Amino acid sequence: MLNTVDLFEDDRPAGSDGADQMGHLVTGELDLSHGVALYLEDITVSFDGFKALNNLSLAINAGELRCIIGPNGAGKTTMMDVITGKTRPDSGKAYFGQSIDLTRLSEPEIAHVGIGRKFQKPTIFEQHTVFENLELAMKTDKRVWKSLMAWLAGDERDRIAETLRMIRLDKEADRPAGLLSHGQKQWLEIGMLLMQEPKLLLLDEPVAGMTDDETMRTAELFVSLAGKHSLVVVEHDMAFVEKLGGLVTVLHEGSVLAEGDLATVQNDQRVIEVYLGR
């Protein structure tokens, strides 16, 4: 029988051959040796004949901050669903690092290998306190028995306190999360993502409903996270996208229409057509 651990330690040859061999392996260490954090190739997803994603290919480098824009129905959320295991593609490849085949993992497994996701609509645990929300999200052994016996250690409390300060909710720690303002809920969800210590963060419209001030603070936070983490941000707010800098990918009808920095993309004739209508 093949020893899977040996396979991971092998210096595998680069190229599609190697990736195919690894296809059957479902879990493993994140391998960023080639500088690519997320790799999507020819992903197609159709719902009752409608192609939500149409031969979508996309590569995100390790430590990169990438913005995805595009009109409604361009496939942005479906793309995130594919990456996080919520939707299975009809065809195509989705790799996290060099070796982790995302199309074969379940949602909790994908969370464990290091992908965190923020939803378009803030989804937090409204009945739990802000503190408990972060506690539940914290990177730790998440099996049943461990949860039964779990008791917060001092350093874990410190980490939660640190995150609370970062998302400016330290004064709200003991309030039920359902009582927070919309912007605060967005921040809490971002805080929950950070507690997971993910390598790749997927953020679906993270600043919707935030004040301008909150939006700018969020941009600063994301820029400071890039480098250590890879970030994929879906956003409509162009001022926010501009503030983030970095490459912008434009999606249209399920595939990539244009890619480049914001100024280039904004002057692209096809992009203007798509946004302004034909």
Partner 1 sequence: MRKPLTIRILSALDKKSWLALGIFLALALVVVPVLHLNFPEDSALHVSTYAITLIGKIMCYALVAVAMDLIWGYGGILSLGHGLFFALGGYAFGMYLMRQIGRDGSYGADLPDFMVFLDWKELPWFWVGSDSFGWVAFLVMAVPALVAFVFGYFAFRSRIKGVYFSIITQALTYAAMLLFFRNETGFGGNNGFTDFKRVLGYTITSSETRLVLFGLTAVMLAVTLVFSAWLVKSKFGRVLTAIRDAESRVMFIGYNPLWYKLTIWVISAVLCGIAGALYVPQVGIINPSEMSPGNSIEIAIWVAVGGRGTLIGPVIGAFVVNLAKSWFTVSFPEYWLFFLGLLFIVVTLMLPQGLVGLWKKLMAKKGAEAC
| 30 sits near partner 1 (criterion: CB under 8 A) | no
182 in contact with partner 1 (CB under 8 A): no
What are the DSSP calls for 101-145, one per residue? Answer: EGGGS-HHHHHHHTEEEE-SS----TTSBHHHHHHHHSSS--SHH
Of 1 and 148, nearer to partner 1 (C-beta) is 148
Applying CB under 8 A, which part among 93-101, 138-146, 163-171, 239-247 lies near partner 1? 138-146
Q: Which stretch binds partner 1 (CB under 8 A): 122-130, 164-172, 214-222, 229-237?
A: 122-130
The gap from C-alpha 255 to its chain's centroid, in whole angstroms, comes to 18
Three-state DSSP class for residue 53: strand
Least spacing, CB of residue 184 vs partner 1, in Å: 16
According to DSSP, the residues that pair with 69 across neighbouring strands are: 250
| 84 vs 103 by CB, closer to partner 1 | 84
- Minimum distance from residue 59 beta carbon to partner 1 (Å): 23
Question: Is residue 108 a contact point for partner 1 (CB under 8 A)?
Answer: yes
**86 near partner 1, judged by CB under 8 A:** yes
Residues 188-217 that bind partner 1 (CB under 8 A): 192, 196
Cβ–Cβ < 8 Å for 26, 192: no
* Residue 220 to residue 71: CA distance in whole angstroms: 25
Residue pair 8/55 in contact (Cβ under 8 Å)? The answer is no
C-alpha span between 22 and 247 (Å, rounded): 29
Distance of CA 19 to the CA centre of its chain: 22
Of 6 and 155, nearer to partner 1 (C-beta) is: 155
- Does 132 interact with partner 1 (rule: CB under 8 A)? yes
Among 1, 2, 144, 276, binds partner 1 (CB under 8 A): 144
Which sign does the torsion angle of CA 178, 182, 188, 193 carry?
A: positive
- Output the smallest distance, CB 52 to partner 1, in A: 18
Binding site for partner 1 (CB under 8 A): 84, 86, 106-108, 111-112, 116-117, 119, 123-128, 132, 135-137, 139, 142-144, 147-151, 153-154, 192, 196
